[in-house]
Amino acid sequence: MERLSDQERHRIAELMAQGVPPRGIRAEIPRSRHAVARAIKALLKPPKGVPARSPLRLSLAEREEISRGLATGEPVRQIARRLARAASTVSREVWANGGPRYYRAHAADRRAVRCTRRPKAAKLARCTRLRSVVGEKLGLRWSPQQISGWLVRGFPDDPEMRVSHETIYMSLFVQPRGALRKELARYLRTQRGARKPRGSPFTGEGKGQLRGMLNIRERPAEAEDRAVPGHWEGDLLFGKGASAIATLVERKSRSVALVGLPGRHSADVVAQALAAKAVELPQQLRRSLTWDQGKEMAEHARSSVQSGMPVYFCDPRSPWQRGTNEDTNGLLCQYLPRTTDMRSLTQDALDAIAAELNGRPRQTLGFMSPSEALNEALR
């Protein structure tokens, strides 16, 4: 594309001011008619208007007052009182633009205007290294919130490696702003391509009365406040054709154990499977088990004798009394959706899922993984 020099543009502006028609300008300027036409069109274009500013934002006049005050050694709080602004607003403005020594009003104002321009490139689109790490962790089925929290621990001295979970969701669900591949959305727990509320129907806990139950209120206080490891919550996770597995969650560390139930989930099968799993645990991790009042626990006394782990039962229709297990079953639906035939899963496959889940950071643990939290509790 042919470009005009600054002298030629200045000459065109002079000729236009004198009322010379475009044909005469082209005769005066020895350039192609297209180049001259572009220059005339650019000069006829109205200048960009100054963007409207919210009264909550600092104006150029206020920034000049800040600059003058700093030059005379005036304290930030005194400048803020004079401008009727919060001291924190003035302090942030100063330190975001070089500090008291290097603050310049016009440079700060140009930066503020530049920052208000939209659209902006998403952070994941700008930072290749951050995008690569986020994509890798999504492939491991980490949630965006887990990734966001882990980045702070994994890169404590690198502010570039920070991203909010909302930014990750935005990149996955809003493809015009997306820096991440849309296929990564299938690794999210819900596997949805958009965010929307979705309720879950209430399912009963099973009818009938179990004999010899220990109520949850009889559970030791150390289990309630998660003071020591070894107190577990359990439930069945159902799949296709009424197939099921047993899920166990340790209350203090949120460590997960999965127990296969070959064939069916009758009381004798569940009792035998739970007892076999419990004896694999060290003695200090066999303190108690909390379950709901489902019929699958009709043989709870036999399981307690074989494992040495007493079983405590929640009140009817009170799943929140073992909320840790309920939350974990929600995580497991990412690996084992309702369409999974649980009978086809080997114990090795279940152990692999549990190991992967125990390696994911949890917000409630300060973004430590359950494996790390359990090892720390057992020291």
214-215 β-sheet, strand order: 214-215, 311-313, 288-291, 231-238, 244-250, 256-260
pLDDT digits (tens, 9 = 90+) for 61-94: 999 999 999 999 999 999 999 999 999 999 999 9
Confidence band, pLDDT 50/70/90 cuts, at residue 114 = confident
Question: Strands 231-238 and 244-250, how do they pair?
Answer: antiparallel
Q: What is the pLDDT of residue 48?
A: 66
pLDDT digits (tens, 9 = 90+) for 161-187: 999 988 888 887 765 555 676 667 777
Q: Residue 231: inside a domain, yes or no?
A: yes
- Same structural domain, 66 and 86: yes
Q: What is the pLDDT of residue 368?
A: 94
Q: Residue 286: inside a domain, yes or no?
A: yes
Q: Around Cβ 114, how many Cβ atoms within 10 Å?
A: 8
- Same structural domain, 369 and 279: yes
- Same structural domain, 176 and 302: no
- Same structural domain, 181 and 277: no
Which among 168, 187, 206 is the end of a domain?
187
Q: What is the pLDDT of residue 195?
A: 59
Total count of domains within the chain: 4
Lowest mean pLDDT among 180-184, 217-221, 313-317: 180-184
> Domain containing 273 — which CATH number?
3.30.420.10
Between 204 and 232, name the one with better pLDDT.
Answer: 232
Q: What is the DSSP string of 208-255?
A: S--SSPEEGGGS-HHHHTT-SS-EEEEEEEE-GGG-EEEEEEETTT--
CB 294 within 8 A of CB 314: no
Q: Please give the helix or strand (H or E) that residue 313 lies within, else none.
A: strand 311-313
Which among 74, 92, 116 is the end of a domain?
116
Confidence band, pLDDT 50/70/90 cuts, at residue 202 = very low
Q: What is the pLDDT of residue 201?
A: 42
- Domain of residue 334 covers 214-377
Residue 251 reports pLDDT greater than 80: yes
Identity of residue 175? Q
pLDDT digits (tens, 9 = 90+) for 86-110: 999 999 999 999 999 999 999 999 9
pLDDT digits (tens, 9 = 90+) for 256-296: 999 999 878 899 999 999 999 999 999 999 999 999 998 99
- Same structural domain, 258 and 320: yes
Q: Residue 198: inside a domain, yes or no?
A: no
What is the SS3 assignment for 59?
A: coil
- Same structural domain, 154 and 236: no
pLDDT digits (tens, 9 = 90+) for 282-292: 999 999 999 99
Mean pLDDT score, 129-138: 90
Lowest mean pLDDT among 42-46, 83-87, 226-230, 279-283: 42-46
- Same structural domain, 230 and 313: yes
For the question of whether the overall pTM of this predicted structure is more than 0.85, the answer is: no
Q: What is the pLDDT of residue 47?
A: 66
Q: What is the DSSP string of 143-171?
A: -HHHHHHHHHHH-TT-TTS---HHHHHHH
The CA-based angle 29-33-39, given to 5 degrees, is 70
Q: Residue 306: inside a domain, yes or no?
A: yes
- Same structural domain, 160 and 252: no
If you compute the radius of gyration of the chain from its CA atoms, what whole number of angstroms results? 33
- Same structural domain, 309 and 345: yes
What is the average pLDDT value for the chain, to the nearest integer? 87
